[in-house]
Chain A
Amino acid sequence: MRYLPLTGDDRSEMLKKIGVSSIDDLFKDVPAADLNPEIDLPRHMSEMAVERALSKMAARNTAAGSVPFFVGAGAYKHHVPATVDHIIQRGEFLTAYTPYQPEIAQGTLQAIFEFQTQVAALTGMDVANASMYDGSTACGEAVLMARRVTRKKKAILCGSLHAHYARVVETMTQYTEDVVVTQQAQPANPQAELDALIDAIDDETSCVVVQNPGVFGHVLDLTPVAEKAHAHKALLIVAVTEVMSLGMIKSPGEMGADIVVGEGQSIGNGLMFGGPYLGLFATNQKYVRQMPGRLCGETVDSNGDRGFVLTLSTREQHIRREKATSNICTNSGLCALAFTVHMSLLGEKGLRQVARVNHKRAQDVKLALSAISGVEVLNSAYFNEITVRLPGNAADIVEKLADKDILAGVPASRLYPGAGMDDLLIIAATETVLEDDIAALATGLKEVLS
């Protein structure tokens, strides 16, 4: 077996040194009846054989890069520079552990410090942590944090918060004291949805959670939400599932957010069928000690040189156990590194440029689809994603377009089944979409509808 260095002779010598005659003497604490069960699985395989078997499975999937591709709704296909994957595959990063021994983990730690600085800047907040599992769990953690900060229990989720995020928040709070109220989504009337949210805020409210751009693509001014929330001593939590939008749209911090959570996948990370991704979590300085997750901070070493360490760990489970701010331990280290490397290449300038291309592509899609009879675009303000009303069942239409090798988007019914949204399709267009792809989508859709 190619990964196991010990030889038969080594094993014999080692057993002799230990003073036992067989390996099973070392397993004597396992109940004898349960030791060495029959395992009905194949024997070991060569590298070539494994590669062949897995490649066969992979070939049964339609890769995003091989077709006109417009699928978004919380995960986005962007171009990731080759440098990013090269850096994160360096063994010193790939095969390192959590940086608990900072003298030999400054690479990881400095990269986290850069990540925290980038995320704080992008979200317009004071501080960010070292990343969470993904955007949805970060969102759940934010709701829990708002209760700790405000000592109130009612969280209000806006209707255009990604359905999966809302479900995750509900799951995470089902056995806590939190009371979660989810508002009705109004894909065709985002302002009415926002107004209803503002109306719902009262003195019992711990936080409101708003996604911007919303899951249907609408871009909204959240300043009035922040004002109302703050007047009632509630926190505004803003969820961003498309971080590329932060290169064009006013930041959540500028709109008055108290906590910003996000899915960072768009920068540095591939689609990967939904994971691993990275949750972003940023807040204001005064709430730092209520934050969940790992934090990296600056300090000095014994020679007075600047260095970095994990810090404020008295919030965390390995110190505080049942009194910790969260049970989270692992973060998304390598995904955060990918984010940081990609972001270091982009910079503010590149991010703004890529964001413009995204917005332009979405405009082009909007224009092309608006021209099709029976298709109605619901968005007036948007970033790189729009929702269209189709003259038919969107899931069926998506399936027919998939047969033509066009992946047209996410039927809203996949996220909101039974909610009367069967004719809605959420369509994303990033910088990876070409003019030809848009033409193919428009032509394909016309054919399917005719």
Chain B
Amino acid sequence: MSMNTQGRPTAAVETDGQSTAFESFSGHRGLRLAEPLIFEMDREDTTGVDVEEVGDFDLEIAGLGRDSKIGCPGLPEPDVVRHYTRLSRKNYGIDMGPFPLGSCTMKHNPRLNEKMARLPGFGDIHPLQPISTVQGALELMETLSHWILELTGTPAVALSPKAGAHGELCGVMAIRAALEARGDAREVILCPESAHGTNPATAAFCGYKVKSIPAKDNGRVDIEALKQSLDDTVAAVMVTNPNTCGLFEDEVREIADAVHAAGAFFYCDGANFNAIVGKARPGDLGVDAMHLNLHKTFSTPHGGGGPGSGPVVFSDALKDYVPLPYVVKTADGLTLKEHADDKDPSMGRLVAFHGQMGMYVRALSYMMSHGSDGLKQASEDAVLSANYILASLQDVMTASYEGPCMHEALFDDRFLKDTGVTTLDFAKAMIDEGYHPMTMYFPLVVHGAMLIEPTESESKNNLDQFIRSMRGLVEEAKSGNVARFSGAPYFAPMGRLDETQAARKPVLKYEAAE
């Protein structure tokens, strides 16, 4: 029993304010722990696992043994747990606080979904074990498909794309396959200037030239300009709806009609579907193909950059071109169609196996938990919260467009004019306030963009506190306290990092000093 052996409770002591300036002997600063790389821990020749002894035996590897050193350290288990726990504490996640990263939809990740994905019947089954032994897995895929089709109002879905951009690839490949099937070679895809970078990159991947279409002053696609660009060279138009400015394309039906009249296809980037789940169905709006980001709309965790999951829904015009494999109902139950025969117009295989099963389980768990009523309420709450932020900040910040917005509110940097504070500085100062910054400098169509997406996961108290912080920062910036911003963050695990140096002389792995 060492705790406070003198029986005296500790009390706060007044300090002179200077005593924090010292360097600690350990290199740590209390809970701000300095953590080396695993390669710097002198554990080259040890291991943290106990492996069964198999004794000596002759290897049957044609003399191709790996004789040279590999160079990966093996740490004892306590050190591994501590190392990665310490690293984790240098991260900001949704679990720690509001994460209003526009376009990224950082909503609560229910732990039930994690638990379900780890059931042995889902987590411990092999993609190539006999179909008769995975009927429940196919049932899950079939059920998820049903929910997706019902929510999007479309007749077909391809589950296998691994992420949003991969879904775009799937969608645009289906468009090209359909055009080629009717002997109609087209060469151009139209994208708004505000599009995600993946849209033009995907179009190029499928051999298309990209042409930009302008926006109107109200942040929506300029439909007259679009119509002028639409001719028989245009394969498709890729539009995000709700768009990257956080606005619903109010002329979406007119866009669809114009695109179809020109013999082209309407691809919708569904990154922002979370604003309209249960409120509107892309199929009703004339969309031919749209990917969903299960890791945004349906809350599968972002995991520090993935894995994602990007199922694509298709209209009747495109549904024959879906990639392999897909689930088929037969008299004996469910099966997987894994190979194309000569007559099958499928675009082919996009991934080695059946896509992101682990994400399908999580997404379906999320959907079933919410139900039709909860999914609609979640969309409404996300839109309500974004508009509340817009209404609460637009008198001090500069909103780029008039509301109402959808699930995210877009501001630009006009309110920082002549303050000496940039969007980047402002974002870094938000870190000191305990928030993950909003999306900055995207979309490209407004100057110094700040895209704020609160999601439906924040209570009104959280929103009000966030608004107070933002208003306080605006006041500080306008009052000339530039240092608070230009040197930010002050309270993060690290000071501002030098990205220029990293790119100039790339060091991409650890190398022991000679």
Contact = CB atoms under 8 A, between A and B. Distances in A.
A303 B493 CA distance: 11
A250 B65 contact: yes
Interface stretch (A151-159, A167-175, A200-208, A437-445): A167-175
Contact of A99 (B73, B305, B361, B372): B305
Interface size class of A (residues with CB under 8 A): 35 or more
B21 interface: no
A31 B52 CA distance: 66
B494 interface: yes
Interface in A180-226: 219-221
B276 interface: yes
B304 A93 contact: yes
Interface stretch (A227-235, A271-279, A368-376): A271-279
A30 B248 contact: yes
A121 B72 contact: yes
A92 to B, nearest CB: 4
Given A309-B499, A363-B57, 6 more contacts: A17-B388, A103-B497, A104-B492, A133-B166, A270-B123, A312-B503
Contacts, number: 712
A150 to B, nearest CB: 19
B91 A107 contact: yes
A29 to B, nearest CB: 4
A347 B123 contact: no
Interface in A32-70: 34-37, 39-45, 47, 50-51, 53-66, 69
B352 A50 contact: no
B304 A99 contact: yes
B253 interface: yes
B197 A134 contact: no
A334 interface: yes
A28 B404 contact: yes
Contact of A6 (B163, B367, B381): B381
A19 interface: yes
B91 A71 contact: no
A332 B351 CA distance: 14
B85 interface: yes
Interface stretch (B6-14, B126-134, B471-479): B126-134
A114 interface: yes
Given A57-B136, A96-B304, A327-B169, A26 B383 contact: yes
Given A39-B278, A312-B506, A357-B51, A103 B495 contact: yes
Contacts of A59: 121, 136
7 contacts: A58-B120, A106-B90, A114-B39, A275-B358, A309-B502, A320-B201, A337-B304
Interface size class of B (residues with CB under 8 A): 35 or more
A270 B191 CA distance: 39
Given A4-B378, A309-B499, A29 B304 contact: no
B74 A34 contact: no
Contact of B354 (A273, A318, A357): A273
B319 interface: no
Nearest to A103: B492
A358 to B, nearest CB: 10
Contacts of B190: none
Interface in B256-308: 276, 278-281, 284-285, 295, 301-308
B91 A96 contact: yes
A149 interface: no
B31 interface: no
A390 interface: no
A37 B282 CA distance: 11
For the complex of A and B, 3 pairs with smallest distance between CB atoms:
A347-B74, A274-B353, A58-B121
A2 B369 contact: yes
Interface in A358-397: 359-360, 363, 379-383
Contacts of A357: 51-52, 54
A448 interface: no
A293 B125 CA distance: 29
Given A104-B493, A111-B87, A321-B201, A71 B129 contact: yes
B179 to A, nearest CB: 11
Contacts of B410: none
B194 interface: no
Interface string A59-95: 1111111100101011101000101011111111111
Of listed B279, B307, B359, residue having the most chain A CB within 10 A? B307
A44 to B, nearest CB: 3
Given A271-B123, A321-B197, A87 B88 contact: yes
B355 interface: yes
Nearest to B73: A347
Contact of B353 (A164, A326, A333, A417): A164
B503 A321 contact: no
A326 B206 CA distance: 11
Nearest to A212: B64
A344 B38 contact: yes
Contacts of B347: 171, 174
B66 A5 contact: no
Contact of A275 (B74, B307, B377, B431): B307
A101 B431 contact: yes
Given A104-B431, A133-B351, A321-B197, A302 B487 contact: yes
Contacts of B308: 330
Contacts of B456: 3-4, 6
Of listed A128, A288, A318, residue having the most chain B CB within 10 A? A318
B128 A75 contact: yes
Given A3-B110, A107-B89, A274 B368 contact: no
Of listed B153, B365, B502, residue having the most chain A CB within 10 A? B502
A248 B60 CA distance: 11
Contact of B162 (A41, A56, A134, A323): A134
B383 A345 contact: no
A26 B307 CA distance: 33
A93 B349 CA distance: 31
Contacts of B166: 133, 137, 328, 330
A103 B85 CA distance: 17
A300 B37 CA distance: 15
A71 B134 CA distance: 13
A167 B351 CA distance: 9
A295 interface: yes
Nearest to B176: A175
A227 B101 CA distance: 49
Contact of B372 (A43, A64, A249, A254): A43
Contact of A171 (B46, B64, B173, B436): B173
Nearest to A9: B460
A6 B357 contact: no
Interface string B97-128: 00101001010111010111111111111111
B139 interface: yes
A414 B509 contact: no
B459 interface: yes
Given A77-B126, A81-B49, A117 B198 contact: no
Contact of A249 (B64, B94, B140, B353): B64
Given A171-B349, A346-B72, A347-B74, A327 B202 contact: yes
Contacts of B135: 60-61
Given A326-B201, A348-B74, A51 B431 contact: no
